[in-house]
Chain A
Amino acid sequence: MILITVGTEKFPFNRLMTWIDRLIEQQFINPNEEEIIVQYGSCTIQPQGVKAYQVLPSQDFQALVAEARLIIAHCGEGSIDLLAKAGKPYILVPRSGQFGEHVDDHQVELARSLARQQVPIAYTPGDLVRFLQAPVFVEIPATPTQYYAQASQLLHQDLVTLTTPKTRSSRALLPGLASLANIGNWVARVPAVFSQITA
């Protein structure tokens, strides 16, 4: 069974759906011979002949992950964690900001960084075909789970020492003034940020 997932992102990832559909059409994968399950999230189209679910309850989804021989996923945090733990062949496909698949191109940047570490990344349907013919599991060097575990410890060290309870009035005055000084920098940056938003 092949499992395809695009996460919970509110932007559709129709490009991947179209690629999968094309692979089925060209018989690189065949839903009549092998089950193909798609969790399509906010996509507005689904590949032909697959079993499609919008979003599965976590438990059901985990069961499918355990059963799959190959997982195709977007480059989201949850998916990367899942694949690192599942220990089975996978292919990652980055969402692109250019095509309205995410807020910006950060998934493409992440994909490039992971690709340098030999992680199977598909930028084109051709890449998908290549990895489908020789599926691999590549250990992901650092996982979100490790990052958050480490962050929890750091937060504890940094902030418990930082936030010593004081009276509200004395506490608010100085940092508040510091922030006011910062507003200048911030206002200066608004045009640049605004042009990014409206770009």
Chain B
Amino acid sequence: MKVVLVSSTGGHFNALCQLSSFWQRHQCTWVTFRNSTTEKVLQGQPTFWAYGPTNRSLKNLVRNLLLSAQVLQQAKPDLVLSTGAGVAVPFLILAKLMGIKTAFLESFTRVEDLSLSARLALPFIDKLYVQWPQLQDKYPQAELITL
């Protein structure tokens, strides 16, 4: 299966890396911001560098939307998987419109409400995973991960 993995840097990227036992079985294309960590980790992996920062930046939203069209066109994935944050929104929306499955794993740190990125992309997410029961009460479509 072909998968596009999209996230911002820091904790979100770290989370995506921690899902390796899932994605290593598939053909992956990465989308994240460029920094010393992501450059090192993604060396030799098919990667597209996204435009940051994404919050309240209309310019970068437009750039990332154009990038998402390019990535989805080229990679032709079966699935777009994201751990957040804002950079994921255009990718999830466009993927869903193109008939590509979308999955979003909400951060462990979100207890009482979804992140803004997840709320924005919610209608375009096929599978939403959360860690805290309060969140699933609020968003019944989410899948609760019980530890």
Contacts and interface: CB of A to CB of B under 8 A. Distances in A.
Q: Do A and B bind each other?
A: yes
Interface in B90-114: 96-99, 101, 103, 105, 107-113
Mostly, the A contact residues are: helix
Contacts of A180: 97
A66 interface: no
A142 B81 contact: no
A185 to B, nearest CB: 6
B14 interface: yes
Contacts of B20: 152
Interface string A175-192: 110011011011001000
30 contacts: A7-B10, A7-B11, A77-B11, A77-B14, A77-B109, A80-B109, A106-B109, A110-B109, A147-B131, A147-B145, A149-B18, A149-B21, A151-B19, A152-B18, A152-B19, A154-B145, A155-B19, A155-B103, A155-B105, A156-B21, A159-B79, A160-B1, A168-B76, A171-B99, A173-B99, A176-B96, A176-B98, A179-B123, A183-B123, A196-B116
A63 B11 CA distance: 20
Nearest to A172: B99
Interface residues of A, number: 55
Contacts of B19: 148, 151-152, 155
A8 B10 contact: yes
Nearest to B145: A150
Contacts of B15: 77, 144, 148
Interface in B44-101: 53, 55-56, 76, 78-79, 81, 85, 96-99, 101
B99 A106 contact: no
Interface in A72-96: 75-78, 80
Interface of A: 7-10, 75-78, 80, 103-104, 106-107, 109-110, 112-113, 142-156, 158-160, 162-163, 165, 168, 171-176, 179-180, 182-183, 185-186, 189, 193, 196-197
Interface size bracket, B side: 35 or more
Contacts of B115: 103, 106
Interface string B1-44: 10000000111001100111110010000000000000000000
Nearest to B105: A151
Contacts of B96: 175-176, 179
Contacts of A109: 110-113
Given A145-B18, A146-B147, A174 B99 contact: yes
A44 to B, nearest CB: 17
